[in-house]
Every structure is written in structure tokens, then in C-alpha cells.
């Protein structure tokens, strides 16, 4: 019986080190007293918003075709909020922000990778129950990169992902529209038959007037 107990304890110890549980806890979260604890599997929330085109103070989840649209070469500002909804502190949270192909990065925290149009930054010591906001500024590219057969391009989506120290993560997107062509008539309407008749009538009257003036001058002479 004693040998079975010792064998069971040995299995637990070996499994403990094989699974590298100490390292996992070392990279984990801390409670309100600063003790290292295992991170919860969820409890991290990210919220991505875009600035309303006609109101610099307003940020919304998405912009659709029924909302005001951005134009080529406009600057667009995003707000990313990351919230720790758990009861433990997160030493580090990594945020990866992927910008749409129609956008060029201008400014924001962290490291920008132009090859993938991606911004990566870290939030240190995200305490339980707190939210951290970060702003990113991008610029809409020239109209030549948008579909030529469309006046407006929508569903231009920005994707942001937050990942905590225990692997817990959350993702959110924000969409907008870009108006690439000015709506409305761009050329003068083609004159119809009735319009041409009116123009011809006025031209004939003008010619008769000139002829009468010339004849009057000859009489005077």
C-alpha cells in the first residue's frame, strides 16, 4: 500500500515538472496581494471604434453607407479600449492592430510593420477592472487604389486583437466607408430637338436684326 502511495506521489511530481507548471505560473497573473496566480481563460475585452467623419468628439463602432463617408487622403482616427474584467492583474497585454489595405499608418503606440500594415503594442500592468485607451491615426489612400466601378466603398474593416499573459484573448472590428466619386451631374445635359429649335429661332432673329441695321445705314448714305 505504501509503495502505491509513493508511486502516485512520484507520478504527480514528474507530471508537475513535465507540464512546466511553475513556468506557466511565473508568466501568469497576480492577485490583489501581488501573489502569482494562474490566469483566467477569458476575462479580457477589446473594443475598437472609429471617429465619426463630421464630429471629432464622437467615436462609433462602425460606419455604414447611411452614415457620412470619408474621402481619399482623409485622416482617420481609431480608439482601442482594452479592459481587464477579471479579478486579477495582467502584467502584460499585447495588442495587434491590422489596418485595411486602403489605409496608410501615421501614428500610434508600439511597433508598426509596413509589410503587413500592422501595429503591435503592449499594455503593462493592466489591473483588474481597469480599461486602457490608445489612439491610432491613419490616412486614406489615393482614389486610384479603390474599385473604379464604385462611387463608394464600404466594409473597410480594421481588426484589433488583445492577448493576455495566460493566452486569453478577444478581438473586435470597426468598419467605415470611403466616397471616391462626387455624386451628381458632372456634365451639362445634351440639348434636345426643342432646345435646338429655340436656339435656331433666336439666331435667325439676331441675323435679321443685323441685316436691317446694315440696310438702314445704306439708305442714310
CATH at 95: 2.60.40.740
Enclosing domain of residue 168: 40-179
pLDDT above 90 for 217: no
Entry pTM = 0.67
- pLDDT attached to residue 215: 57
Give the pLDDT confidence of 149-160 residue by residue, as tens digits. 999 999 999 999
Residue 44 falls inside a structural domain = yes
- The answer to the question of residue 205 being in a domain is no
| Digit-coded pLDDT (tens) for 73-129 | 999 999 999 999 999 999 999 999 999 999 999 999 999 999 999 999 999 999 999
Residue 182 Cα distances to 107, 144, 186, 206, angstroms: 29, 14, 9, 40
Distances (CA, A) of 110 to 19, 121, 125, 207, 221: 33, 4, 16, 77, 92
Residue 219 falls inside a structural domain: no
The pLDDT value given to residue 93: 97
Sheet holding 152-163, edge to edge: 111-113, 118-126, 90-98, 152-163, 169-179
Position 98 in a domain: yes
Q: What is the pLDDT of residue 181?
A: 84
Of the candidates 97, 91, 100, which has an alpha carbon nearest to the alpha carbon of residue 128?
91
- Whether residue 10 is contained in a domain is answered as no
> Is residue 30 in a domain?
no
- For 13-46, how does the pLDDT look when each residue is reduced to its tens digit (9 = 90+)? 444 433 443 433 334 566 555 566 666 556 999 9
- What per-residue confidence (pLDDT) applies to 23? 38
| Residue 20 maps to a domain | no
- Count: domains in the chain: 1
- Does the residue 76 lie in any domain? yes
Amino acid at each position: 500500500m505504501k509503495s502505491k502511495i509513493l508511486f502516485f506521489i512520484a507520478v504527480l511530481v514528474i507530471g508537475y515538472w513535465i507540464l512546466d507548471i511553475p513556468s506557466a505560473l511565473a508568466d501568469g497573473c497576480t492577485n490583489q496581494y501581488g501573489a502569482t496566480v494562474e490566469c483566467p481563460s477569458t476575462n479580457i475585452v477589446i473594443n475598437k471604434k472609429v471617429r465619426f467623419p463630421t464630429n471629432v468628439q464622437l467615436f462609433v463602432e462602425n460606419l455604414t453607407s447611411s452614415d457620412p463617408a470619408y474621402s481619399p487622403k482623409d485622416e482617420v482616427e481609431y480608439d482601442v479600449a482594452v479592459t481587464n474584467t477579471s479579478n486579477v492583474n495582467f502584467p502584460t497585454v499585447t495588442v495587434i492592430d491590422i489596418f485595411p489595405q486602403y489605409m496608410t499608418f501615421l501614428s500610434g503606440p508600439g511597433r508598426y510593420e509596413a509589410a503587413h500594415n500592422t501595429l503591435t503594442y503592449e499594455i503593462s500592468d493592466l489591473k483588474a477592472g481597469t480599461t486602457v485607451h490608445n489612439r491610432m491615426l491613419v490616412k486614406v489612400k489615393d482614389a486610384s487604389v479603390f474599385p473604379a466601378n464604385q462611387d463608394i466603398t464600404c466594409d473597410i474593416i480594421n481588426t484589433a486583437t488583445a492577448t493576455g499573459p495566460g493566452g486569453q484573448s478577444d478581438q473586435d472590428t470597426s468598419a467605415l466607408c470611403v466616397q471616391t466619386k462626387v455624386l451628381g451631374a458632372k456634365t451639362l445635359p445634351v440639348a434636345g430637338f426643342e432646345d435646338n429649335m429655340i436656339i435656331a429661332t433666336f439666331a435667325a432673329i439676331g441675323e435679321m436684326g443685323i441685316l436691317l441695321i446694315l440696310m438702314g445705314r445704306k439708305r442714310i448714305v
